[in-house]
Amino acid sequence: MSSKKVLTFEGKDITVVWDGNLCIHAEECWRADSELFDVNREPFGDPDLVDAEEADRIAKRCPSGAIAWRANDASAEEAAADENTVTVVPDGPLYVRGDLSIEGVPAQDGNTTKRVALCRCGLSKNKPFCDNSHIEGDWRDKGAVGREGPGFEEPGGPLSISPRKDGPLLLRGNVAVRAASGCIRWKGSKVSLCRCGLSKRKPFCDGSHKGEFEADGES
Ligand code: FES
């Protein structure tokens, strides 16, 4: 696992955390129209310049779960999105949002129970999380989603994510998969998504990982 720094910004009413082990520098936080983060300020986070509602809005912009916030009196924190979604990023990770639990992975300082960027190229040194190794590896995939899935009756509910040993990400729970085009293409309640980077039916696992991919995970 990676061991970058974690910064905790404690304000009068709320505390904001930035987890460098999860951050993939999507830049959504500091490009936001908000004073919460300013890369030219030291420290760059200041929760006393925003209220809880704004901290929540900024945290939700972060696709990796690197930013978390909570009220100091434990009365409030980020709520899960109403629907579980996976967005396939072109040449990059899977952005997952919803009511998430990642099996067999220690709790992180950021908020990976609501938002997370998961490696799908097989190159990350911080699996199952993306660490931007797809850039250095010049890994390519346009992010199309071919299949449509069986669908589900009601959206929402918990979504468990199980990184399988030497294999895919097994997702259990209602989830919609959004292609890089922005359209929801697949809906269902159980799906194996490729995380070795080798599938010919990305983002779905097609068994190409067998004998070709090694990663920690559940057996
Ligand atoms: S994990 Fe990539 S093909 Fe199965």
Residues with CB under 6 A from ligand 1: 167-168, 194-196, 198-199, 205-209
Could you report the per-residue pLDDT of 70-112, keeping only the tens digit for each?
999 999 999 999 999 999 999 999 999 999 999 999 999 999 9
Longest dimension (CA), the chain: 53
Say whether both 47 and 108 belong to one domain. no
Ligand 1 pocket test, candidate residues 121, 196, 201, most atoms within 8 A of CB: 196
Say whether both 154 and 131 belong to one domain. yes
Ligand 1 atom at minimum distance from 198 CA? 2
With a CB cutoff of 8 Å and minimum separation 6, the contacts of 120 are: 88, 92, 93, 94, 130, 141, 193, 194, 195, 197, 202, 203
Q: How many CB atoms lie within 10 A of CB 107?
A: 8
Would the pLDDT of 185 be above 80? Answer: yes
Nearest to 11 by CA among 64, 69, 60, 61: 69
Say whether both 188 and 102 belong to one domain. yes
Could you report the per-residue pLDDT of 4-27, keeping only the tens digit for each?
799 999 999 999 999 999 999 999
Q: Is residue 150 part of a domain?
A: yes
pLDDT at 1: 44
Q: What is the dihedral of CA 203, 204, 208, 209, to 10 degrees?
A: 80
Q: Is residue 211 part of a domain?
A: no
Print the domain residue range for 30. Answer: 6-71
Q: Is residue 11 part of a domain?
A: yes
What gap in Å lies between CA 9 and CA 137, rounded to an integer? 34
The per-residue b/e assignment along 173-196, b for 16 or more CB within 10 angstroms, e otherwise, is: bbbbbbbbeeebbbbbbebbbbbb
Q: Is residue 122 part of a domain?
A: yes
Say whether both 95 and 185 belong to one domain. yes
CATH number at residue 20: 3.30.70.20
Global pTM value: 0.95
In the chain, how many domains are there? 2
Rounded distance from Cα 207 to ligand 1 centre (Å): 5
Rounded distance from Cα 150 to ligand 1 centre (Å): 21
The pairing of strands 99-102 and 169-178 is: unpaired
What gap in Å lies between CA 190 and CA 158, rounded to an integer? 12
The pairing of strands 169-178 and 158-163 is: antiparallel
Q: Is residue 80 part of a domain?
A: no
pLDDT at 9: 97
Say whether both 92 and 148 belong to one domain. yes
The DSSP secondary-structure symbol of 78 reads P
